[in-house]
Amino acid sequence: VQLQASGGGLVQAGGSLRLSCAVSGRSSGMANSRYGVGWFRQAPGAEREFVAGISQSATSLYYADSVKGRFTIFTDNSKITVYLRMNSLKPEDTAVYYCAAGRSSYYRALQVDYEYDYWGQGTLVTVSS
């Protein structure tokens, strides 16, 4: 399984960005299995932290308290790409953002990093004050 994250960049505080995570290359073992996709971030000198997660059904969503009401995770109809819409960005949102996928039931989103089996490369988001 490969995950390709994109969409990072430099934005002023209060601005918006949309990150994309393209999920591809599922093995035959994964072809009929269910998985959840999530976004994590890691700021310089900080631990990696959960940001948002979505179930394969797209009906179960989880958000970190720090981003609730500002960030939205969603997927396209094909469920091949998962997006993270980030509004009202703050300097403290500056981090490398990673998308990840992990086996789950159809309706269950994942919140903990050890539940995720596959990780994409990060995309850097920088919010200037």
Per-residue pLDDT reduced to its tens digit, 22-46: 988 655 444 456 889 999 999 999 9
- The confidence band for 66, taking pLDDT boundaries of 50, 70 and 90, is very high
According to the model, what pLDDT value does residue 31 have?
44
According to the model, what pLDDT value does residue 119 have?
95
Rounded percentage of the chain residues whose pLDDT exceeds 90: 78
Cα separation, 51 vs 67, in Å, equals 7
Residue 56 or residue 49, greater confidence: 49
Model confidence over 99-111: pLDDT tens digits?
Answer: 999 988 889 999 9
Contacts 24+ apart (CB under 8 A), 59-65: 59/107, 60/36, 60/107, 60/108, 60/109, 61/109, 62/38, 62/109, 62/110, 62/111
Tokens read off for 69: 């009401």
Residue 51: pLDDT over 70: yes
- The confidence band for 80, taking pLDDT boundaries of 50, 70 and 90, is confident
Nearest to 53 by CA among 98, 89, 92, 7: 98
* β-bridge partners, 32: none
